[in-house]
A and B are shown apart, each in its own frame.
Chain A
Amino acid sequence: QQQVKQSPQSLIVQKGGISIINCAYENTAFDYFPWYQQFPGKGPALLIAIRPDVSEKKEGRFTISFNKSAKQFSLHIMDSQPGDSATYFCAAIGFKAAGNKLTFGGGTRVLVKP
Protein backbone atom coordinates (compact mmCIF):
# COMPACT_ATOMS: atom_id res chain seq x y z
CA GLN A 1 0.00 0.00 0.00
CA GLN A 2 1.26 3.43 -0.91
CA GLN A 3 0.98 5.70 2.09
CA VAL A 4 2.49 8.71 0.33
CA LYS A 5 1.29 9.55 -3.16
CA GLN A 6 3.34 11.92 -5.31
CA SER A 7 2.52 13.72 -8.54
CA PRO A 8 3.37 14.35 -11.27
CA GLN A 9 5.75 11.54 -12.20
CA SER A 10 7.72 13.92 -14.38
CA LEU A 11 7.71 17.54 -15.41
CA ILE A 12 9.59 19.80 -17.76
CA VAL A 13 10.08 23.45 -16.91
CA GLN A 14 11.93 26.27 -18.62
CA LYS A 15 14.86 27.92 -16.89
CA GLY A 16 13.54 30.56 -14.54
CA GLY A 17 10.15 28.90 -14.22
CA ILE A 18 8.46 27.36 -11.20
CA SER A 19 8.41 23.61 -10.56
CA ILE A 20 5.56 22.35 -8.39
CA ILE A 21 5.40 18.83 -6.96
CA ASN A 22 2.50 17.59 -4.87
CA CYS A 23 2.21 14.87 -2.25
CA ALA A 24 -0.64 13.42 -0.22
CA TYR A 25 -0.44 11.16 2.78
CA GLU A 26 -2.85 8.94 4.66
CA ASN A 27 -1.30 8.16 8.01
CA THR A 28 -2.08 10.86 10.57
CA ALA A 29 0.77 9.56 12.74
CA PHE A 30 3.24 11.19 10.35
CA ASP A 31 4.64 14.36 11.87
CA TYR A 32 7.70 15.25 9.82
CA PHE A 33 7.80 15.71 6.07
CA PRO A 34 11.16 15.95 4.29
CA TRP A 35 11.93 16.36 0.62
CA TYR A 36 14.92 14.65 -0.93
CA GLN A 37 16.77 15.41 -4.16
CA GLN A 38 18.47 12.59 -6.00
CA PHE A 39 20.83 12.74 -8.98
CA PRO A 40 21.45 9.65 -11.12
CA GLY A 41 23.73 7.15 -9.40
CA LYS A 42 23.70 9.05 -6.12
CA GLY A 43 21.91 8.65 -2.82
CA PRO A 44 19.04 10.95 -1.84
CA ALA A 45 20.09 14.26 -0.28
CA LEU A 46 17.87 16.10 2.17
CA LEU A 47 16.61 19.32 0.63
CA ILE A 48 14.09 20.83 3.03
CA ALA A 49 11.63 19.56 5.62
CA ILE A 50 8.56 20.73 7.52
CA ARG A 51 6.55 19.84 10.59
CA PRO A 52 2.72 19.98 10.42
CA ASP A 53 2.47 22.85 12.90
CA VAL A 54 3.59 25.31 10.21
CA SER A 55 1.92 25.96 6.87
CA GLU A 56 4.95 27.05 4.91
CA LYS A 57 8.73 26.87 5.05
CA LYS A 58 11.14 28.55 2.69
CA GLU A 59 14.83 27.95 2.16
CA GLY A 60 16.36 29.85 -0.70
CA ARG A 61 14.52 28.94 -3.90
CA PHE A 62 12.73 25.98 -2.29
CA THR A 63 9.40 26.32 -0.46
CA ILE A 64 7.21 23.68 1.18
CA SER A 65 3.50 24.38 1.58
CA PHE A 66 1.62 22.19 4.04
CA ASN A 67 -2.14 21.64 4.40
CA LYS A 68 -2.76 19.53 7.48
CA SER A 69 -6.53 19.24 7.08
CA ALA A 70 -6.19 18.01 3.51
CA LYS A 71 -3.16 15.86 4.38
CA GLN A 72 -1.28 17.35 1.47
CA PHE A 73 2.04 19.10 1.01
CA SER A 74 3.93 20.46 -1.94
CA LEU A 75 7.38 21.59 -3.03
CA HIS A 76 7.84 24.72 -5.08
CA ILE A 77 11.15 25.34 -6.82
CA MET A 78 11.35 28.99 -7.79
CA ASP A 79 13.59 30.32 -10.58
CA SER A 80 14.35 26.74 -11.67
CA GLN A 81 17.89 26.17 -12.97
CA PRO A 82 19.33 23.40 -15.18
CA GLY A 83 21.28 22.19 -12.13
CA ASP A 84 17.94 21.46 -10.45
CA SER A 85 17.30 18.69 -12.96
CA ALA A 86 16.97 15.64 -10.72
CA THR A 87 14.42 13.32 -9.18
CA TYR A 88 12.61 14.68 -6.16
CA PHE A 89 11.04 12.52 -3.48
CA CYS A 90 8.65 13.57 -0.79
CA ALA A 91 8.67 11.50 2.36
CA ALA A 92 6.93 11.23 5.69
CA ILE A 93 7.95 9.94 9.07
CA GLY A 94 6.27 9.59 12.43
CA PHE A 95 8.19 10.53 15.54
CA LYS A 96 6.22 8.12 17.67
CA ALA A 97 6.12 5.39 15.04
CA ALA A 98 8.45 2.48 15.59
CA GLY A 99 11.83 3.11 14.04
CA ASN A 100 11.01 6.50 12.62
CA LYS A 101 11.44 4.99 9.18
CA LEU A 102 10.88 7.14 6.14
CA THR A 103 7.98 6.39 3.81
CA PHE A 104 8.72 7.80 0.36
CA GLY A 105 6.54 8.92 -2.50
CA GLY A 106 7.15 7.52 -5.97
CA GLY A 107 9.32 10.41 -7.12
CA THR A 108 9.11 13.21 -9.68
CA ARG A 109 11.69 13.54 -12.40
CA VAL A 110 12.28 17.24 -13.08
CA LEU A 111 13.96 18.46 -16.23
CA VAL A 112 14.85 22.15 -16.45
CA LYS A 113 15.44 23.29 -20.01
CA PRO A 114 17.94 26.10 -20.57
Chain B
Amino acid sequence: DTGVSQDPRHKITKRGQNVTFRCDPISEHNRLYWYRQTLGQGPEFLTYFQNEAQLEKSRLLSDRFSAERPKGSFSTLEIQRTEQGDSAMYLCASSPLPQSRGPDYEQYFGPGTRLTVT
Protein backbone atom coordinates (compact mmCIF):
# COMPACT_ATOMS: atom_id res chain seq x y z
CA ASP B 1 0.00 0.00 0.00
CA THR B 2 1.55 3.27 -1.09
CA GLY B 3 -0.93 5.58 0.66
CA VAL B 4 -0.58 7.53 3.89
CA SER B 5 -0.47 5.24 6.92
CA GLN B 6 -1.07 6.04 10.56
CA ASP B 7 -0.40 4.11 13.72
CA PRO B 8 -2.12 3.25 15.96
CA ARG B 9 -5.62 3.34 14.50
CA HIS B 10 -7.20 3.55 17.92
CA LYS B 11 -5.86 4.69 21.27
CA ILE B 12 -7.64 4.75 24.60
CA THR B 13 -5.82 6.50 27.40
CA LYS B 14 -6.53 7.89 30.81
CA ARG B 15 -6.56 11.60 31.46
CA GLY B 16 -3.11 12.87 32.28
CA GLN B 17 -1.22 10.26 30.29
CA ASN B 18 1.01 11.04 27.31
CA VAL B 19 0.30 9.59 23.88
CA THR B 20 2.25 9.54 20.62
CA PHE B 21 0.96 8.95 17.11
CA ARG B 22 2.92 8.16 13.99
CA CYS B 23 2.27 9.10 10.37
CA ASP B 24 4.06 7.70 7.33
CA PRO B 25 3.36 9.88 4.29
CA ILE B 26 3.39 8.91 0.65
CA SER B 27 7.03 8.54 -0.26
CA GLU B 28 8.55 11.57 -1.97
CA HIS B 29 5.85 13.89 -0.63
CA ASN B 30 7.59 16.93 0.79
CA ARG B 31 4.67 18.25 2.83
CA LEU B 32 3.02 16.58 5.77
CA TYR B 33 0.00 17.93 7.60
CA TRP B 34 -1.76 17.10 10.86
CA TYR B 35 -5.48 17.80 11.29
CA ARG B 36 -7.90 17.09 14.11
CA GLN B 37 -11.50 16.06 13.56
CA THR B 38 -14.13 15.94 16.28
CA LEU B 39 -17.38 14.06 15.87
CA GLY B 40 -19.69 15.65 13.34
CA GLN B 41 -17.21 18.34 12.31
CA GLY B 42 -14.81 18.92 9.47
CA PRO B 43 -11.09 18.44 10.02
CA GLU B 44 -9.20 21.40 11.49
CA PHE B 45 -5.61 22.21 10.69
CA LEU B 46 -3.03 21.69 13.45
CA THR B 47 0.41 21.95 11.90
CA TYR B 48 2.45 21.19 8.81
CA PHE B 49 5.98 20.31 7.78
CA GLN B 50 7.89 20.91 4.62
CA ASN B 51 10.57 18.24 4.67
CA GLU B 52 11.85 18.33 8.28
CA ALA B 53 10.93 21.95 8.98
CA GLN B 54 7.75 22.71 10.90
CA LEU B 55 6.50 25.79 9.11
CA GLU B 56 3.18 26.59 10.73
CA LYS B 57 1.23 25.75 13.86
CA SER B 58 -2.42 26.48 14.54
CA ARG B 59 -3.59 28.23 17.67
CA LEU B 60 -5.40 24.94 18.34
CA LEU B 61 -2.01 23.38 19.03
CA SER B 62 -1.49 24.08 22.72
CA ASP B 63 1.89 23.69 24.39
CA ARG B 64 0.88 20.15 25.37
CA PHE B 65 1.12 19.18 21.72
CA SER B 66 4.38 18.67 19.89
CA ALA B 67 5.08 17.34 16.43
CA GLU B 68 8.28 16.26 14.76
CA ARG B 69 9.45 15.07 11.39
CA PRO B 70 13.10 14.38 12.12
CA LYS B 71 14.33 13.11 8.76
CA GLY B 72 11.70 14.56 6.52
CA SER B 73 9.96 11.21 6.21
CA PHE B 74 7.60 9.98 8.95
CA SER B 75 6.16 12.32 11.57
CA THR B 76 5.07 11.93 15.19
CA LEU B 77 2.46 13.88 17.11
CA GLU B 78 2.72 13.77 20.89
CA ILE B 79 0.10 14.95 23.35
CA GLN B 80 1.24 15.38 26.92
CA ARG B 81 -1.04 15.32 29.96
CA THR B 82 -4.06 14.37 27.87
CA GLU B 83 -7.44 15.92 28.64
CA GLN B 84 -10.91 14.68 27.77
CA GLY B 85 -11.21 17.50 25.28
CA ASP B 86 -8.36 15.94 23.29
CA SER B 87 -10.62 13.06 22.30
CA ALA B 88 -10.85 13.24 18.51
CA MET B 89 -9.68 11.69 15.27
CA TYR B 90 -6.15 12.82 14.41
CA LEU B 91 -5.60 12.85 10.67
CA CYS B 92 -2.36 13.04 8.75
CA ALA B 93 -2.14 14.13 5.14
CA SER B 94 0.71 14.51 2.69
CA SER B 95 1.24 16.30 -0.57
CA PRO B 96 3.96 17.13 -3.02
CA LEU B 97 5.16 20.72 -3.24
CA PRO B 98 2.49 22.75 -5.08
CA GLN B 99 3.44 23.89 -8.55
CA SER B 100 2.79 27.51 -9.36
CA ARG B 101 -0.39 27.57 -11.46
CA GLY B 102 0.44 24.03 -12.38
CA PRO B 103 -1.43 20.75 -11.80
CA ASP B 104 -4.16 20.64 -9.24
CA TYR B 105 -2.87 20.58 -5.73
CA GLU B 106 -4.02 17.61 -3.66
CA GLN B 107 -3.65 16.44 -0.11
CA TYR B 108 -3.97 12.72 0.57
CA PHE B 109 -5.25 11.65 3.95
CA GLY B 110 -4.44 8.64 6.05
CA PRO B 111 -7.05 6.58 7.91
CA GLY B 112 -6.59 8.57 11.11
CA THR B 113 -5.93 7.71 14.75
CA ARG B 114 -9.01 7.74 16.97
CA LEU B 115 -8.06 8.98 20.45
CA THR B 116 -10.36 8.45 23.41
CA VAL B 117 -9.38 10.03 26.72
CA THR B 118 -11.24 8.58 29.70
Q: Interface of A with B (CB < 8 Å)?
A: 6, 32, 34, 36, 41-46, 49, 51, 89, 91, 93, 95, 98-107
Which A residues are CB-close (under 8 A) to B31?
Answer: 100
Quick check: B55 and A102 within 8 Å, CB to CB? no
Name the distance in Å between B52's Cβ and chain A's nearest Cβ: 15
Which single residue of chain B is at the shortest CB-CB distance from A91?
A: B42
Give complex CA distance A106, B42 in Å: 5
Tally of chain B residues near chain A (CB < 8 A): 29
Which B residues are CB-close (under 8 A) to A93?
Answer: 105
Quick check: A99 and B48 within 8 Å, CB to CB? yes
Which A residues are CB-close (under 8 A) to B56?
Answer: 98-99, 101
Give complex CA distance A6, B40 in Å: 13
A107 with B42: in contact, given A95-B98, A95-B100, A100-B98 (CB under 8 Å)? yes
Give complex CA distance A45, B4 in Å: 11
Quick check: B109 and A99 within 8 Å, CB to CB? no
Say which residue of A46, A51, A107 sits within 8 Å of B108 (CB atoms).
Answer: A46
